[in-house]
Amino acid sequence: MCGFAGYLGGTAFSGEAPEDAPLGDMTQAILQRGPDDAGHWVDAVNGIALGFRRLAIVELSAAGHQPMQAHNGRWVLVYNGEIYNHLVLRAELEKSGHAPRWRGHSDTETLLAAIAVWGVEATLARCIGMFAFALWDRETLSLTLARDRMGEKPLYYGWQGQGRNASFLFGSELKALRRHPAFEGRVDRDALCLLLRHNYIAAPRSIYCGLSKLEPGCILTVSLAQPEPKVMRYWSMQQTIEQGVTKPFDGSPMQAVDALEVLLKDAVAQQMVADVPLGAFLSGGVDSSTVVALMQAQSSNRVKTFTIGFHDAAYNEAPHAMAVADHLGTDHHELYVNAQQALDVIDRLPRLYCEPFADESQIPTLLVSQLARQQVTVSLSGDAGDELFCGYSRYPHAQRVWNTLSKVPVGLRHAAARAATAISPKYWNAALAPMTAFRSPHKRTRNWGDTVHKAAGLLLAKDAAEFYCKLNSYWLDPASVVMNDAGYRESINSLPPGLQGLSFTEHMMAWDAVGYLPDDILAKIDRAAMGVSLEGRVPFLDHRVVEFAWQLPLSLKLRAGVGKWVLRQVLYRHVPRALIDRPKMGFGVPIGDWLRGPLRDWAEDLLGETRLRREGFFDAPTIRRTWQEHQSGTRNWQNKLWGVLMFQAWLQSTQDAATGGLR
């Protein structure tokens, strides 16, 4: 796991050594992604610079140093990630007689050799792994960027500067691009609207105008002769979904369980290969328990597992993780975190995330990464099981609600919404409070009034896509909050078209797989893990597992309102059902309470009315009203406020660090 940065064109090239030029500053900005080694390669005549920071995982010697040149001298590569089947690719090259004389056993060298023989697209079709890379072709003087199928590894790019100063910047994180003299730094207010809606910025946008995220499964080519980037898709989640529906798995349920276990065991085995200590995150839920069970079943040593505990029972999964670890016999490590430890992390978040990001679970994710890094350099996780195997409780709930709503005339729905919102949240809380008296803590809704008012907004949805988007929106009308003279251009759903032949539940899973998974979950894992120089691996995102999951009919995922049926059957072969079958808890922290307590002064400073008006990004009266309602306890606006606060904290951090201001 590593990080890279570079630039094409512009006036940054001179006779200086790379470490004295912008390239050195750019790679230094992402030091945490690769503390073990640094490398630079510059061709000033042709205007290309490639920089690299290395976290050594496979091939720890200098034979894995980057930037790496191909044996034939044509290509130069900087690459972040792991090709898990690279030894298989080596064997294929050797069998065909096209293998070079290997310098070492790094997957970087394998990737370069494969590209030299098969080309970029055909090589990526053969690769199983997570990656982002920049490849310079010294023959055609062109640059190629590529990103893995699921979007596990980040890659930003774009032209910055004008005229002779224009440079095409690219890299693993925006903080590296900010160090280049051509960087402009103008905040994209439409992207800010996306942040308020989703609490993350959906690809291909970034927080900055002119800079984009390369979308998963894509290859980009650009050159000084052809400066307009050309993007092509070599793998498509949407096509994978549609093909799965067109040609579904036709075996029995038990045959599906058998096939899934074989695929997962192979994916886990491949991802356990490393030349450094390796472990896994374990929450005790279905997904992480499955990954750890398959790791332990294939390991002669006790697998190191890690979990974070909280003293608040409503957020604590540590006892469940301990029970699973005891059954499997792992070398288990847990850390019970107090409020102050969690709060101390918040100050690091703006620097850790190179653009504003507001998934509250970023806090425990960083904490568990810190815990794991004390003993291992690689950690596997169970992420993506929910999106692939229908694990979120919102899927069946939303399906039931939409089935009912869609039968109600629009006019009647609008009238019901007006009636529901005519009653204040305070009175709804009082009226509905008795409903929570006998519910377990994780099922209690502390503010029923907010739930009712949000449900009223759902009544106004014109179709299923808008309904699901509203269900997962924090600010339903971001354009009313962000000061944006140009007008808000995001469509209401920001979802891919097509996806024929799917039920509404499958549509929700597909939408999450295309957007929420790469832009929220995987971004969170990458920044949290790399922030402590830890490589995170996600076996469920082996593309063979993804493709098989979408071939399975929904009936093998969702049964009697409970998701992940087929995955649970795999797990039950290794872990007793009694240790697993319980309501899903999630991975959260009590942000709402903290904003009324220990975080109040911090938030008040960031949300001060004078400050908001001076900076000019948000409508100050709306933000102040939302903040005061939350402080009074009449409303629970923690999710709305967290998105605004993460932008404000990020803005302050970048202004403190930058040589120039933001506009």
- Three-state SS string over 150-176 comes to CCCCCCEEEEECCHHHCEEEEECCHHH
> For tokens 């064109």, what's the residue?
9
Over the chain (663 residues), what is each successive 10-residue block's mean pLDDT? 92 63 93 96 95 94 94 96 97 95 95 97 98 98 98 98 94 97 95 95 96 98 97 96 92 98 98 96 96 97 94 82 97 90 88 94 94 98 97 93 83 70 62 58 54 71 86 90 70 55 91 95 97 97 98 95 96 96 73 92 96 96 96 90 97 74 44
C-alpha closest to that of 595 among 635, 634, 651, 642: 642
C-alpha–C-alpha distance, residues 70 and 75, integer Å: 5
- Which phi-psi region, left, alpha or beta, contains residue 321 (left: φ > 0; alpha: ψ -120 to 50)? alpha
Beta strands in 514-623 (DSSP E): 535-537
For the chain, the first-to-last Cα distance in angstroms comes to 34
User: What is the bridge-based pairing of β-strands 230-233 and 218-222?
Assistant: antiparallel
Angle, helices 362-373 vs 339-346, to 10°: value is: 100
- 278: Cα separation from own chain's centroid: 21
45: Cβ contacts below 8 Å, ≥ 6 apart: none
Residue 662's pLDDT is what? 45
Domains delineated in the chain: 2-235 (3.60.20.10), 591-656 (no CATH)
Residue 659's pLDDT is what? 45
Q: Just list the catalytic residues.
A: 2
Tokens of 613: 């008006």
Tell me if the pTM is above 0.85.
yes
C-alpha–C-alpha distance, residues 434 and 417, integer Å: 23
C-alpha–C-alpha distance, residues 102 and 659, integer Å: 44
Residue 464's pLDDT is what? 86
Residue 454's pLDDT is what? 65
C-alpha–C-alpha distance, residues 364 and 371, integer Å: 10
C-alpha–C-alpha distance, residues 339 and 317, integer Å: 16
- What sections of 20-85 are H helices per DSSP? 22-28
Tokens of 213: 């995220």
Residue 445's pLDDT is what? 47
Residue 82's pLDDT is what? 97
Which secondary-structure segment (H or E) carries 654?
helix 638-657
